[in-house]
Amino acid sequence: MRLLQNAYKTTVKDRKILAVLMVTFILTNSHITAVHAQEMDQFAAPEPQMTTSTSDVTASEPVIAAPEQIPTQTLPVAQPKRDPAIRTVLTSMTAYSSAPNQTDGTPYVTADGTCVSDGIVASNFLKIGTRVRFPDLFGDKIFEVHDRMNDRYTNRIDVWMKDIKDARQFGLKRNARVEIVMDGDNKKQWDLGLTNADCQEIALAVK
């Protein structure tokens, strides 16, 4: 009977020990599992953050089409002011050069004491210093009367040209339209003291 009691006691004791061991094992195992889970969380890959790269932004932005080229309006170029004509006349026109057979003894000096040059004309019916224009022959170019012609030419204008060949080729222009831009005052300029040699040098230098 004692042996049975001892066996029972031993068995109960053993059961208690076993129960304690089991509880200890369970608790220990739970702690290890928790620690292991914590460690696994540390080494786990971080969740991807919602970042947007430059390429993503560019790709996601709407593509705006380039505006159509608007044709630019070409503005007219400002034209130089054209002096109005105070009156228009019709006359015959010829050309002359500084050849001795076409003028007097000082072929390079004009009748008012200035030098012949491009833009100089001779006329007997217009005052010295008168400004004229020949629109049909020379466009808007302005000429000035500084020379005279033979007395028999009462209604003619002579245009000075450097080259005698050009003067001859110009020939006679009948009923040429002449626009009077400004009347002259017949003022002479002999006080300048220009000689034929001086004017010849100036005239020959003109291209």
CATH of residue 150:
2.40.40
Is there a single domain that holds both residue 91 and residue 187? Answer: yes
> Nearest to residue 132, comparing CAs of 98, 176, 168, 173?
176
Cβ proximity of 121 and 184 under 8 Å: no
In this predicted structure, what is the pLDDT of residue 93? 98
Name the domain count of the chain.
2
- Is 68 part of any domain? no
- Is 156 part of any domain? yes
Is there a single domain that holds both residue 20 and residue 91? Answer: no
pTM over 0.85: no
- Is 123 part of any domain? yes
Cβ proximity of 95 and 166 under 8 Å: yes
- List b or e across 136-173, with b for residues whose CB sees 16 or more CB atoms inside 10 angstroms: eeeeeeebbbbbbbeeebeebbbbbbeeeeebeebeeb
- Is 170 part of any domain? yes
Is there a single domain that holds both residue 194 and residue 123? Answer: yes
Which residues face 89 on adjacent strands? 178
Is there a single domain that holds both residue 16 and residue 107? Answer: no
Kindly list the averaged pLDDT for each block of 10 residues, start to end, along the chain of length 207. Answer: 46 61 59 51 50 47 57 59 90 92 82 95 97 97 96 95 94 97 95 92 80
- Is 60 part of any domain? no
Is there a single domain that holds both residue 4 and residue 91? Answer: no
- Is 38 part of any domain? no
- Is 94 part of any domain? yes
- Is 27 part of any domain? yes
* Residue numbers of the domain that contains 162: 87-205
Is there a single domain that holds both residue 94 and residue 27? Answer: no
